[in-house]
Amino acid sequence: QVQLVESGGGLVQPGGSLRLSCVASGSIVSINDMGWYRQAPRKERELVATITNGGSGNYVDSVKGRFTISRDNAKNTVFLQMNSLKPEDTAVYYCNAKIRRVWYSSNYYDYWGQGTQVTVSA
C-alpha cells in the first residue's frame, strides 16, 4: 500500500509565502518524477511544477520565479515553496508521484495526495 500525505496549506495574504510538503510511504522501491497540480474554482486541473529524480524542475509560466519545487529522495518527500503569492494562486493543490512498488517489475504507477487548500486573500 502506497500513501501520499500532504501538509502546509492554509490562508495567506497576497505577497505571502507557504511551503507545501508531500511524503510518500508504504511499498516503495523507487520514485521517479514527482509534481504538484492545482485546481482553482471554475478551472480545470493544472500542472504547476514537476521534478525529476535528479532534481530538474519545470514550471507553468504563471509561477516561474515565484515557486520552487524540490525533493528529498532519502525521505520520499517533495516540496513546493510558494513565494509572492497572488489571489490567482488560490486552489486545491495535489501532489503526484510515479512510484515503482516491486523489485520484479519496472512499471511506475501514479499516486496522488488528498489535496490541500491554498487560499490567498487580504
Which residue, 32, 35, 21, is CA-closest to 101?
32
Confidence band for 1, pLDDT divided at 50, 70 and 90: confident
State the cell numbers at 5. Answer: 500525505
The torsion angle over the Cα atoms of residues 7, 12, 14 and 18, rounded to 10 degrees, is -30
User: How confident is the model over 51-103, as pLDDT tens digits?
Assistant: 999 999 999 999 999 999 999 999 999 999 999 999 999 999 999 999 999 99
